[in-house]
């Protein structure tokens, strides 16, 4: 019996292929093979929102190959990812490949390990159409909003803009925070800090708290109030009035789910959400960790989840590791069980290592730096989540002087527990936490201390902080906006569309983002309403659970949206909204104006606002601190015509050098890119060049001293027959040796080929 397993990812398919016997053939669909058309709505709204799916352009050859495999197979296992998107891909595969229902079986793997894969194959099921319809509904809603709302933005703002259902809400959140910051009015407040020294010579600080008689907290709002305290205590002894000692237990954080993984990777590793999910996907699909560690295997469980549940097997494995590595005192009396938040999807476990005994340090050499750092973060968090709590010894000391109460507090770690391995980070620095971390000297009640210094200081309240990726994901999760699979996509979309930009870790709106948010909020309030979007997520969950139907959700949404759309086009008239220009810190060296950001064919650049009188431009580069001027690469050789520097530019056909005095001097020179292969005649580097009509060929970098050139692609591999240079024939899938008398030929698959740069 022939069994065919169809997966999404080629790398995951390669991993799974090693776990199954010779009676199984494993192939990959490389993601979706069907989708709504790009050029039309693709939804028949008048006929119950019937979707018109088409095969994705460029997937024709793959679909034909998969159809052949389907015809030759007795059973087909659709093993796409274990989420809504994966369920929908399985359904699309079944329809596009004409797979008979009797032959198609759905299987899912929460982790890509040998035991999990074999267990999954043993328990196939039918495709769950409730899950498929939940995904379809999201796709149709997003298409309706984007297709219907974008023309409104073209009419009122500028052409080429696009609107998204969930992305518009995320942009509004960032815009609202920016408005809060602008509207914020700082308030003055003062602190008084006493620098004291204990009898053992160790120093510490105590801060003003309030009147000594009432012990109530009092804020100091002015210099006059602060100086009153200062005058009363300056030069006076400080009496240690009371010392309160206690014990506090600090519990570990639960294992990761998608949102907390993205937050912590942002805080600790400085990873953007998209980078986190890409690396997590690699760890899930499988990595070769060496034969001694099990070969190719998935290192973590599925990374799109909002569940905190872990299997008994995983909990037992963690216990075994903790007892063996740290000892009995580091394992709690009862195993830890974490409860998922209300409304969480519990189809998958929390994100954890698929094998708790596989320590990150053991396989570090087999992982890329990003894979190692993220795997260690996931592994540490999971093991720590099963460890004993940390025990902290706390101390709070009250001191009095001049009728005023000063207070200091801190703690020491009596027993580290889980903190021996891992401690969760936070978004904002908390001054009170810093104080509690202070290690205090030994003090006695009734002891008199002299202050080395008493310092009154002026402060001002600060506005709320801008969102980072970590804090935005946290807010989206708390408000039920989006789902684990969408957080990274939401942030990527609003930044690439130019509605939000990054400055360091902060996210702030662009002028375009503010204008479009205000406009959509005026005419389509539901689209940018957090509660409305969150309720839509609940309705999608209802479709998945069978509580409602796809048609009911689509009809309810569209009835209201169509009315808003009709009213918007009728009332907006010929209104045009002007987008404020985004200024840079770059001063035009031609006329002295402050340059502004413009969008071009090759991305953003700085342009003089006095165009067309001044046509000066500067390239921009996106960094973690925002857009900055990109320093041009200067060629070693000067311009042959005028002697000025030649700088690197990007054009329709790739990179080239142009005279820095352009347009006065229009000299250009092609940049020759290294091929990574040595010349067979002289041993110098071979480079890529272009001839007439932009035809690419390969030449020695020492030309004209060495005149070697070739239309066929030279390869780094040597001929297995004669040891000469191999070439990939131009326009053919064939490897040949051109050494006279050799005659070696092979299909390209038989020898790795150098990739051409286009």
Q: Please, are residues 112 and 16 in contact by the beta-carbon 8 Å criterion?
A: yes
Nearest to 701 by CA among 714, 717, 719: 714
Q: Where among 430, 460, 490 does a domain terminate?
A: 460
Predicted pLDDT at 42:
95
Whether the pLDDT of residue 411 is over 90: the answer is: no
Predicted pLDDT at 423:
86
Strands 3-7 and 24-28: parallel
Whether the pLDDT of residue 308 is over 90: the answer is: yes
Residue range 410-424: average pLDDT? Answer: 90
CA 547 – CA 52 distance, rounded (Å): 26
What share of the chain has pLDDT > 90, as a percent? 63
The tens digit of pLDDT for each residue in 479-488 reads: 999 888 899 9
CATH, residue 230? 2.70.20.10
Which helix (H) or strand (E) segment holds residue 232: the answer is helix 223-233
Least reliable range by pLDDT among 138-147, 453-462, 646-655, 738-747: 646-655
Predicted pLDDT at 625:
59
Residue range 584-613: average pLDDT? Answer: 86
The tens digit of pLDDT for each residue in 359-389 reads: 999 999 999 999 999 999 999 999 999 999 9
Residue range 657-673: average pLDDT? Answer: 80
Residue range 734-753: average pLDDT? Answer: 71
Where does the pLDDT of residue 626 fall: very low under 50, low under 70, confident under 90, or very high at 90 and above? Answer: low
Predicted pLDDT at 223:
96
Whether the pLDDT of residue 751 is over 50: the answer is: no
Q: Does a structural domain hold residue 668?
A: no
CA 553 – CA 380 distance, rounded (Å): 42
Count CB neighbours of 101 within 10 A.
9
Predicted pLDDT at 724:
85
Predicted pLDDT at 343:
60
CATH, residue 71? 3.40.50.140
| Domain shared by 102 and 150, yes or no | no
Do you know the residue count of the chain?
758
Q: Where among 385, 407, 441 does a domain terminate?
A: 385
Predicted pLDDT at 345:
62
Q: Please, are residues 128 and 106 in contact by the beta-carbon 8 Å criterion?
A: yes
Predicted pLDDT at 338:
93
Where does the pLDDT of residue 572 fall: very low under 50, low under 70, confident under 90, or very high at 90 and above? Answer: confident
Whether the pLDDT of residue 685 is over 70: the answer is: yes
Nearest to 206 by CA among 435, 504, 516: 435
Q: Please, are residues 546 and 574 in contact by the beta-carbon 8 Å criterion?
A: no
Strands 34-35 and 54-55: antiparallel
Residue range 567-593: average pLDDT? Answer: 85
| Domain shared by 52 and 95, yes or no | yes
Q: Does a structural domain hold residue 653?
A: no
Predicted pLDDT at 244:
94
DSSP-assigned letter for residue 238? E
Of residues 159 and 393, the one with the higher pLDDT is: 393
Q: Does a structural domain hold residue 631?
A: no
| Domain shared by 423 and 472, yes or no | no
Of residues 734 and 281, the one with the higher pLDDT is: 281
CA 165 – CA 296 distance, rounded (Å): 40
The tens digit of pLDDT for each residue in 94-120 reads: 999 999 988 999 999 999 999 999 999
Q: Does a structural domain hold residue 657?
A: no
Where does the pLDDT of residue 438 fall: very low under 50, low under 70, confident under 90, or very high at 90 and above? Answer: low
| Domain shared by 335 and 416, yes or no | no
| Domain shared by 44 and 153, yes or no | no
What pTM was estimated for this model as a whole? 0.77
Q: Does a structural domain hold residue 578?
A: no
| Domain shared by 24 and 120, yes or no | yes
Domain count, the chain: 5
Q: Does a structural domain hold residue 617?
A: no
The tens digit of pLDDT for each residue in 156-207 reads: 988 888 888 999 999 999 999 999 999 999 999 999 999 999 988 889 999 9
Q: Please, are residues 170 and 472 in contact by the beta-carbon 8 Å criterion?
A: yes
CA 289 – CA 306 distance, rounded (Å): 28
Least reliable range by pLDDT among 289-293, 426-430, 718-722: 426-430
| Domain shared by 344 and 292, yes or no | yes
Whether the pLDDT of residue 754 is over 50: the answer is: no
Predicted pLDDT at 431:
44
Residue range 599-617: average pLDDT? Answer: 85
Whether the pLDDT of residue 585 is over 90: the answer is: no
Count CB neighbours of 516 within 10 A.
29
Nearest to 6 by CA among 124, 111, 113: 124
Q: Kindly name the residue from 24, 302, 372, 698 that is annotated as catalytic.
A: 302
Give the relative orientation of helices 129-156 and 511-523 as an angle to the nearest 10 degrees: 110
Q: Does a structural domain hold residue 625?
A: no
Predicted pLDDT at 432:
46
Q: Is 470 helix (H, G, I), strand (E, B) or coil?
A: helix
Please name the residues in contact with 406: beta carbons below 8 A apart, sequence gap of 6 or more.
Answer: 194, 206, 207, 208, 209, 233, 238, 398, 399, 400
| Domain shared by 433 and 499, yes or no | no
Give the relative orientation of helices 258-269 and 487-496 as an angle to the nearest 10 degrees: 60
Whether the pLDDT of residue 584 is over 80: the answer is: yes
Where does the pLDDT of residue 723 fall: very low under 50, low under 70, confident under 90, or very high at 90 and above? Answer: confident
Query: What is the DSSP annotation of 362-410?
Result: GGGGGS-HHHHHHHHHHHHHHHHHTSPPEEEEEEEEEEEETTEEEEEEE
Nearest to 296 by CA among 83, 117, 545: 117
Q: Where among 366, 385, 404 does a domain terminate?
A: 385
For the chain, the average pLDDT equals 89
Q: Please, are residues 240 and 447 in contact by the beta-carbon 8 Å criterion?
A: yes
CATH, residue 329? 1.10.290.10
Whether the pLDDT of residue 755 is over 60: the answer is: no
| Domain shared by 435 and 478, yes or no | no
The tens digit of pLDDT for each residue in 332-361 reads: 999 999 988 766 666 689 999 998 899 999
Where does the pLDDT of residue 669 fall: very low under 50, low under 70, confident under 90, or very high at 90 and above? Answer: confident
Residue range 219-233: average pLDDT? Answer: 97
Query: What is the DSSP annotation of 690-736?
Result: E-GGG-EEEEETTTTTS--EESSEEEEEEPTTTS-EEEEPTTSSEEE
Q: Please, are residues 19 and 116 in contact by the beta-carbon 8 Å criterion?
A: no
CA 602 – CA 583 distance, rounded (Å): 19
| Domain shared by 22 and 66, yes or no | yes
Q: Does a structural domain hold residue 666?
A: no
The tens digit of pLDDT for each residue in 40-64 reads: 999 999 999 999 999 999 899 999 9
DSSP-assigned letter for residue 18? T
Burial of 264 (0-12, 13-18, 19+ CB in 10 A): buried
Q: Identify the bridge partners of residue 499 per DSSP, sorted by sequence position.
A: none
Predicted pLDDT at 757:
31
Where does the pLDDT of residue 750 fall: very low under 50, low under 70, confident under 90, or very high at 90 and above? Answer: very low
Q: Please, are residues 680 and 703 in contact by the beta-carbon 8 Å criterion?
A: no
Q: Which domain holds residue 100?
A: 3-127
Of residues 84 and 621, the one with the higher pLDDT is: 84
Residue range 688-696: average pLDDT? Answer: 70
- Which long-range CB contacts under 8 A does 692-698 form with residues at least 24 apart? 694/653, 696/756, 696/758
| Domain shared by 273 and 379, yes or no | yes
Predicted pLDDT at 387:
97
CATH, residue 514? 1.10.460.10
Tell me whether residue 657 is one of the annotated catalytic residues. no
| Domain shared by 482 and 553, yes or no | yes
Whether the pLDDT of residue 235 is over 80: the answer is: yes
Q: Is 288 helix (H, G, I), strand (E, B) or coil?
A: strand
- Which long-range CB contacts under 8 A does 579-588 form with residues at least 24 apart? 579/157, 579/158, 579/511, 579/512, 579/515, 580/511, 580/515, 581/511, 581/609, 582/510, 582/511, 584/620, 584/627, 584/629, 586/618, 586/629, 588/614, 588/616
Predicted pLDDT at 493:
92
């Amino acid at each position: 019996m022939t069994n065919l397993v169809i997966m999404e990812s080629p790398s995951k398919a390669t991993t799974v292929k090693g776990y199954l016997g010779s009676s199984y053939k494993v192939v990959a669909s490389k993601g979706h093979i069907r989708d709504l058309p790009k050029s039309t709505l693709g939804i028949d709204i008048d006929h119950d929102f019937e979707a018109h799916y088409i095969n994705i352009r460029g997937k024709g050859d793959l679909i034909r190959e998969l159809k052949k495999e389907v015809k030759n197979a007795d059973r087909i296992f659709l093993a796409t990812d274990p989420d809504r998107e994966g369920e929908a891909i399985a359904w699309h595969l079944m329809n596009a490949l004409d797979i008979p229902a009797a032959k198609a079986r759905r299987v899912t793997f929460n982790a890509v390990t040998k035991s999990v894969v074999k267990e999954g194959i043993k328990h196939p099921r039918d495709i769950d159409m409730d899950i498929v319809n939940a995904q379809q509904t999201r796709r149709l809603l997003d298409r309706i909003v984007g297709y219907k709302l974008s023309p409104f933005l073209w009419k009122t703002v500028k052409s080429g803009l696009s609107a998204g259902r969930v992305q518009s809400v995320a942009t509004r959140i960032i815009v609202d925070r920016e408005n809060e910051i602008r509207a914020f009015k700082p308030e003055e407040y003062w602190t008084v800090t006493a620098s004291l020294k204990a009898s053992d010579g160790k120093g510490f600080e105590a801060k003003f708290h309030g009147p000594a008689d009432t012990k109530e907290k009092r804020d100091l709002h002015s210099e006059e109030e602060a100086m009153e305290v200062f005058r009363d205590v300056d030069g006076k002894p400080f009496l240690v009035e009371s010392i309160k000692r206690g014990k506090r237990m600090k519990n570990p954080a639960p294992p990761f789910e998608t949102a907390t993984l993205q937050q912590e990777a942002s805080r600790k590793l400085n990873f953007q959400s998209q980078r986190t999910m890409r690396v997590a996907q690699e760890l899930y699909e499988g990595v070769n960790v060496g034969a001694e560690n099990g070969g190719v295997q998935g290192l973590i469980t599925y990374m799109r989840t909002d569940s905190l549940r872990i299997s008994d097997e995983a909990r037992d494995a963690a216990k075994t590791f903790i007892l063996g590595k740290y000892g009995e005192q580091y394992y709690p009396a009862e195993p830890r069980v974490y409860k998922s938040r209300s409304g969480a999807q519990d189809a998958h476990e929390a994100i954890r290592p698929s094998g708790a005994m596989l320590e990150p340090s053991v396989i570090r050499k087999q992982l890329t730096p990003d894979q190692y750092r993220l795997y260690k973060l996931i592994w540490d968090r999971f093991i720590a989540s099963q460890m004993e709590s940390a025990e902290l010894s706390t101390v709070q000391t009250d001191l009095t002087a001049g009728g005023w109460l000063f207070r200091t507090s801190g703690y020491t770690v009596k027993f580290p527990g889980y903190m021996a391995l891992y401690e969760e980070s936070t978004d904002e620095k908390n001054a009170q936490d810093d104080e509690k971390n202070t290690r205090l000297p030994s003090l006695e009640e009734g002891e008199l201390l002299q202050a080395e210094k008493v310092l009154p200081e002026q402060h001002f309240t600060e506005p709320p902080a801008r969102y980072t990726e970590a804090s935005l994901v946290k807010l989206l999760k708390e408000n039920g906006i989006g789902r684990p699979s969408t957080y990274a996509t939401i942030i990527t979309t609003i930044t690439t569309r130019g509605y939000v930009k990054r400055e360091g870790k902060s996210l702030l709106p662009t002028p375009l983002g503010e204008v479009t948010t205000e406009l959509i909020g005026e005419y389509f309030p539901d689209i940018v309403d957090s509660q409305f979007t969150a309720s839509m997520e609940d309705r999608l969950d209802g479709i998945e659970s069978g509580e409602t139907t796809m048609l009911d959700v689509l009809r309810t949404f569209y009835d209201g949206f169509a009315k808003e759309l009709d009213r918007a086009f009728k009332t907006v008239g010929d209104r045009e909204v002007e987008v404020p220009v985004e200024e840079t810190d770059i001063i035009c060296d031609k006329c002295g104006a402050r340059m502004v950001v413009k969008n071009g064919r090759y991305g953003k650049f700085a342009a003089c606002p006095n165009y067309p009188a001044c046509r000066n431009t500067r390239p921009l580069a996106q960094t973690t601190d925002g857009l900055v001027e990109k320093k041009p690469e200067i060629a070693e050789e000067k311009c042959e015509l005028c002697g000025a520097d030649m700088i690197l530019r990007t054009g329709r056909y790739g990179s080239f050098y142009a005279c820095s005095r352009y347009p006065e001097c229009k000299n250009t020179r092609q940049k020759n890119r290294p091929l990574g292969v040595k010349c067979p005649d002289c041993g110098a580097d071979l480079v890529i060049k272009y001839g007439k009509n932009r035809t690419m060929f390969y030449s020695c970098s020492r030309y004209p001293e060495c005149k070697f050139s070739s239309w066929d692609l030279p390869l780094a591999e040597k001929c297995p027959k004669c040891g000469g240079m191999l070439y990939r024939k131009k326009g053919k899938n064939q490897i040949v040796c051109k050494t006279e008398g050799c005659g070696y030929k092979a299909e390209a698959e038989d020898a790795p080929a150098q990739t051409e740069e286009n």
